[in-house]
Amino acid sequence: MANIGFIGLGIMGRPMARNLIQGGHKLFLHTRSGVPEELLEQGGIACPSPGNVAQNAEITITMLPDTSDVEQVLFGQNGVAQGLTGGKAVMDMSSISPTETRVFASRISHLGCDYVDAPVSGGDIGARNATLTIMVGATETVFQRVRPILELLGKSVTLIGANGAGQVCKIANQITVALTIEAVGEALLFASRSGVDPAKVRSALMGGFASSRVLEVHGERMIQRLFDPGFRIELHQKDLGLALSGSRALGVYLPNTASTQELFNACIADGGANWDSSALVRVLEKLANHEIGQGRKDKQ
């Protein structure tokens, strides 16, 4: 059993922390909105600051919205860095800038501690069911140290490379997911506007080459109009922003990523920052003046 710190107990962090407690670890917890009662009832220990979490923990995990949040929690007043002593480890499981991740890793290393970037994919469902895909940036030695912990959270745990590589992989994942959400939205909208039941179309496509986890989960959300997150549009927009800023630095053009980002921007302008990312379809529906599911009548 390890003493583990966990900072950030939102949609993803809360079930992840719960799975670590159920895995037999002692958890020291902190979040801005207050530690959920359910985690305290299961044995979690609330801490007043990130620094206090790090004082008590061998490994401190962060699961936060953005790069600036991670920086503040790690290096701000009463931050994690102030509670570290040599030999401890920090593992950031947020989705943030690869460039800043390497800077954070260097600063933590200078304190005599290890740093791991381990962003995840799988959404709230994967967090609850401990079936996340976890992409790790670390040395081989450090990876082996934290791997048993990660295996309590995910079904696929892969060492991608050195610090920052996990975040690069996560951005690649977010590009793929966002563009697939857009494609599924277009496909189901086309079917519905043609007078064909989109639920039947989705079911048929799930048996063929177009099948995907996005079609399975997000396609169902589009049809059933279930747009509570999940994974918020504002966070997916943030991730595509990281992709586009990184691509500019690399001299790489990502045209479909850019166009999908504009659809997310339109959702946010329409008040949808906190919608699930599958709600991107709402912008497509406005452009078509047709909502998926309207006027279902099979023309065949």
| Catalytic site positions | 170
Q: Residue 90 burial (CB < 10 Å; 0-12/13-18/19+)?
A: buried
